[in-house]
Each structure stands twice: as C-alpha cells, then as structure tokens.
Amino acid sequence: PESTKCPTGGQAPLGDCIMADPSAHPGDPHYVDRSGWLRAAVLGANDGIVSVSSLVVGVAAADPDPRAILIAGVAGLAAGAMSMAAGEYVSVSSQSDIERADIERETVALAEMPEEEFGELVAIYEARGLSTATAEAVARELTEADALGAHVRDELGLSEVHAANPLQAALASGATFSVAAAIPVLAAYLAPPSAIIPTVLIITVLSLIALGALGAKAGAAPMLPAILRVVRWGVFAMAVTAGVGWLFGVSV
C-alpha cells in the first residue's frame, strides 16, 4: 500500500504530503536515497581529516612540542565537530524553510486559483513529451488524487528522498568529523616527537584514500576518481597550512 510522506522530511502539519509509490525492490533501496546523509557524512569526515591534520602539521612545523600539538588537535576536533554540526543544521534548516514556504504557497494557490494551477500541471507534462490530451488526463487524475502532492513533486521538484533533514545532516556531519579528526590526533600523540609530521601526513593520506573509497562504494560511484579527488585537495590543504606554520616558526 502507498504511504503518505512529507517532502520536507518528517510528518509536517501540512497534511498534504507526497504519496510515496511502493518500491519494486523494498529490500534494495536506490542509492539516491542515501544522498542526504551521505553528503553530510563525507563532508564531515573529509573536513575532520583535512582540517585537524592541517592544524596538527601546522603547529608541529612551528613548534614540535607534543603537548602543544595534542592540545591543538583535541581543541580543533571539538571545535570543528560542533561547528560542522551547527553549520549543517542551520544551512539545511534554511533549505527546509524554503521548501515549506513554497509548499504553503502552492496550498494557497490551489485554493484560490485551481484552474491556473491545473493548467501549470498540463504544461509541465506537455513539456515532458506528453500529448495535450494525455497531459490533461494525467493532470486531472493526479489532481483528483492529491493535487498538492502533484504540484510539490512535478512543479517544485521536491520529494521525500531529496527533502532537507537538518537533524540528520547535523548528526551525520558532526559524528563523522569527530571520528575522522581523531585519526590524525592519535597519530600525532603516538608518533615519536621527531616523526610527528611525516607520521601524520602518511596516516592522513591513507585515511583520505579510505574515505574516498568508502564514499564511492556507498554511492556506487567510480572509486579511483573519488579517491584522487579527495586525496588531491586534502594534500593541498595540508601543504598550505604546513607552509604557514613553517613561516611562523622561522620568524620566531
């Protein structure tokens, strides 16, 4: 049976949410269903590895004292995780607000201008290749079944799959940042003082390779391009930060 789901994620009080079609393979969901949390998770993990590794390498280049490096790494982990979670929540909440506002506007338009809204649906289906007669028949049946759902899906392009979910994004980003950022911090803590920088760099590159591979596998994407993309930008960020630390170390 069909189930009613809200395009804004969760059960919004609009009552007029999209009717989700039953899947032909419920035990094997589409990869796009993961897009919301996967984007936030990969972003958080990548930022955790790169930013904290860069911070550790930069501090080590200026002052190789293990205690100072550990304090900087832990502080960067805590601050970065909170910042990522808060930033994801605020930004995705803004997207959710926009979606809700558009849905409310469609609700009002359907109540005040039903004929004009019906004409919009017909035009949309005609633009997709249907004949006028077929487009009118489809628009009429969908309007009778769920007018708001049809407009939200086909006019606004919203669905429960792509809906903004602030809490999910915040938790995914903050958690993966913390886990990923702990890797270079532990590497710096366990490495001998004379080998902190090369140890962190090697562990970071290996972590970026693993992240690129995991992200590609979770999204069914080609693995090599994903790995190269993650490693290239991560190494560049660390090189810039280490250069800044080295310059300040020399000046001191």
Which of 240, 199, 230 has the alpha carbon at shortest distance from 46? Answer: 230
Which of 240, 182, 250, 252 has the alpha carbon at shortest distance from 57? Answer: 240
CA dihedral 198, 63, 186, 170 (to 10 degrees): -110
| Contact status, residue 185 vs residue 54, Cβ threshold 8 Å | no
DSSP letters for 127-160: HTT--HHHHHHHHHHHHHHHHHHHHHHHTS---T
pTM: 0.65
CB atoms within 10 A of CB 138: 18
CB atoms within 10 A of CB 237: 18
Which of 132, 128, 101 has the alpha carbon at shortest distance from 119? Answer: 132
CB atoms within 10 A of CB 31: 11
Show the tokens assigned to 63.
């002052």
> 58-61: long-range contacts (C-beta < 8 A, 24 or more apart)?
58/241, 58/242, 58/244, 58/245, 59/245, 60/188, 60/196, 60/197, 60/200, 60/245, 61/197, 61/242, 61/245, 61/246, 61/249
Which of 178, 225, 234 has the alpha carbon at shortest distance from 203? Answer: 234
Per-residue pLDDT of the chain (252 residues; tens, 9 = 90+): 344 444 444 434 333 444 444 554 455 554 445 555 577 788 888 888 888 888 888 788 776 778 888 888 899 999 989 988 898 888 888 888 888 888 888 889 889 998 998 998 999 999 988 899 999 999 999 888 888 888 888 888 776 655 667 888 888 888 999 999 999 999 988 888 888 888 988 999 999 999 888 878 877 778 898 889 888 888 887 777 667 766 765 433
Phi, psi of 234 (to 5 degrees): -65, -45
Residues in the chain: 252
